[in-house]
Amino acid sequence: MIVENTQTQMRKGILEYCILSIIAKGETYASDIIAELKKAQLLVVEGTLYPLLTRLKNNGLLTYNWVESTSGPPRKYYILSDDGKKVLEQLDKTWEELLFAVQTAIGDRKE
């Protein structure tokens, strides 16, 4: 139980970082994000992504454009806003620090 909890917490912490990173590459459609996250084994179902995207958008980190689709309704393509770019930079920095901390902490054990 504790193990699971820690795992979810760890995954959780980097999920939004990963989403922002994926979107930072350029205009991204939700199912593309899902595909990437599935590949990274961070998220399994699509439904959970939409609340996250909506919240990030409402916090001003993302914006989106409507693009007409040949199959089905128009699609929302997400891009990072200026705020989002700043936050991502901070997160990059934090991630490097974390990476350093983790590597330092486990460094001896792994060798």
Q: Tell me which residue of 65, 92, 93, 99 sits closest to 80, measured CA to CA.
A: 65
2 binds other proteins (CB under 8 A): no
Residue (25 or 86) nearer to other proteins, CB: 86
User: What is the C-alpha to C-alpha distance for residues 25 and 28, in angstroms, rounded to an integer?
Assistant: 8
> Phi and psi at residue 63, in whole multiples of 5°?
-135, 175
Taking the complex as a whole, how short is the minimal distance between the CB of residue 71 and other proteins, in angstroms? 4
92 is a contact residue toward other proteins (CB under 8 A): no
| Contact track, other proteins, 42-71, x by CB under 8 A | -xxxxxx-xxxxxxx-xxxx----x-xx-x
The token pair at 59 is 């916090």
Number of residues that bind other proteins (CB under 8 A): 36
